[in-house]
Amino acid sequence: MNEQKQKVLLVDDDIFVREMLSVVLDDKGYVVSDADNGKAALQRYADDPSIDLIITDINMPEMDGLQLIKELRSKTFNVPIIVLSSNKEIDMMLAALNIGADDYLIKDEFIQDTIDITVKKTLEKQHLRQANLQLITDLSHKKEELENALSYLTAIINTMPDGLLVIDESGKITLANQAISSLFNLSGNAIIGRGYSEMFDEALTSLLDKSRMNRDDVYTADIDISTNKIVRAVATSIRKQFAVDKDSGHVGALVILRDITFEKEVDRMKNDFISVVSHELRTPLTSIIGFAKIIKNRLETVIFPCVDKDDSRLRKTVEQVAGNIDIIITEGNRLTNLINNVLDISKIEEGKMQLKEELCSMSDIIQRAIDATAPLFAQKQLELKINIDDSIPDIIGDGDRLIQVLINILSNAVKFTDCGSVTVRASIISEKDSTSDGKRVIEIAVTDTGIGIAPDDLQKVFEKFKQVGETLTDRPRGTGLGLPICKQIVESHGGKIWAESEIGKGSCFIFTLPVK
């Protein structure tokens, strides 16, 4: 594609000069038009404002070159102008430059050589001038956009109900919104530029220390602050969006603080209520189950043997009574388990569940859980496969609670597996995280060949009162508290728990425990 030729307007009352310069410029590839005085040139430019350059003589009839320049500049026409002058008209040439001409040419024997250089230089200067003006305009627009974005961001930060604190790489506070000032009874301006360790207590500074040292992690903690409030703090590092590498992109850290004082008080009242109600329910329930078992025993040992077995109607009644007694005992036990789970959750949320710290054999824990669930496997005729690494060391923890975790996971595996097998595997693995290249942990996995769990439900199974059975079978198959309790127990031991599954192919529940 050919570039568009640039247009040059020659203005001179001397036709010889016009024709001579026109030939030179035409040979250089310019489109040349001409005028014999300033008035005609002004009209010519008005008719064709796409003219790129005007070359004008100074002394001309009707309107001279100086007046032409004044007229063009008064109309804010920015077309570049070169003036022609002789050596005797130096003062006039300087005057032309002062009122808006861009350059000059001397009418001498070298003009045919100098005109091309001067025209190119003037057009290049004009191009740079236009590019600079465009850059200034673009920068002005970008500045306005940034100012608007900053105004929006400032308004959002200062009106958000949560406290926001930002620190730089040196640990100095660079931003604190109004909510921070309200939470700590501090003046926002008074803490800007101060070190966070000298402004806040140990719990919050410890959280920020962790986020600065382990830059890829997010840390959360509920903290009692000096103003008798409880806040939930979430801290993480700040990284440049387009960092050159992983280590060079960090510019600081931030922490978001939410006042949860009211929520904590509501939780405390709720847990107190649950604890009282649960204890009040468990006392009569224990009596009901106990008496039901006594009645069942007396019926089976005293009453039923005296019944005429040949009487089909009476035999049917006996079977019905026995079945009803079994239902009472089964449902009573189920309700007892529910109450125990509710109490466990209540204790966990209040931080009142005390875990024993004793030396435990992981192999014994697994075996005791298997023994406790063996009747469930026999009832459904499921194969139980066991693969325990002999090198698994003893751990420090609460053995009874860990048995509870395994029994719950094994029971769920049996509950949702109608045929096939359940595999228990335990081994030592090296777990990599942001603070260690590979710490040793015990990994226990329970894999079944059951109905599986939908991907969207994998995280929900660890939420309170979430019953997987409702999703998969449209009927409740548990209290919805077992797995949340397992999660709390495992995490209280410093471990992790998660699930992997595929609909129709079974599930695998895995948890890890640190080797101490």
What per-residue confidence (pLDDT) applies to 248?
A: 61
Predicted local distance difference test score (pLDDT) of residue 290:
86
Tell me the two tokens of residue 382.
């499921």
- Is the pLDDT at 289 greater than 80? The verdict is yes
Given this model, what pLDDT does residue 348 score? 67
Consecutive H or E run containing 150: helix 111-159
Question: What's the average model confidence in pLDDT over 435-463?
Answer: 82
Confidence of residue 22 (pLDDT cuts 50, 70, 90): very high
Q: How many angstroms separate the CA atoms of 190 and 198, rounded? A: 12
Give the least confident one: 103-112, 446-455, 500-509.
103-112
pLDDT band at 245 (very low <50, low <70, confident <90, very high): low
Give the Cα separation of 350 and 488 in Å (integer): 12
Q: Output phi, psi for 515, to 5 deg.
A: -90, 115
Higher pLDDT, 441 or 244: 441
- pLDDT of 356 higher than 90: no
Query: Regarding predicted confidence, which is higher, 117 or 341?
Result: 117
What is the SS3 assignment for 284-308?
HHHHHHHHHHHHHHHHHHHHHHHCC
Average pLDDT over residues 264-287: 77
**What value does the mean pLDDT take over residues 215-226?**
84
Q: State the pLDDT at residue 442.
A: 93
For 21, the token pair is 């310069």
CATH number of the domain located at residue range(s) 358-514 in this protein: 3.30.565.10
| Phi/psi at 434 (5° precision) | -75, -15
- CA–CA dist 419, 448 (Å, integer): 9
How far apart CA 199 and CA 173 sit, in angstroms, is: 9
| pLDDT for residue 434 is more than 50 | no
Q: What is the DSSP letter of 3?
A: P
Q: If you average pLDDT over every residue of the chain, what do you get?
A: 84
Residue 247: what pLDDT?
A: 59
Question: Could you report the per-residue pLDDT of 23-47, keeping only the tens digit for each?
Answer: 999 999 999 999 999 999 999 999 9
Enumerate the β-bridge partners of residue 85. 106
Percentage, residues of the chain above pLDDT 70? 91
Share of the chain above pLDDT 90, in %: 29
Helix (H) or strand (E) holding 362: helix 362-380
Report pTM: 0.49
Q: Which CATH class is domain 160-262?
A: alpha beta
Give the mean model confidence (pLDDT) for residues 329-342.
76
Mean local confidence (pLDDT), 45-56? 92
Q: Which fold has domain 7-134?
A: Rossmann fold (3.40.50)
pLDDT at 350: 64
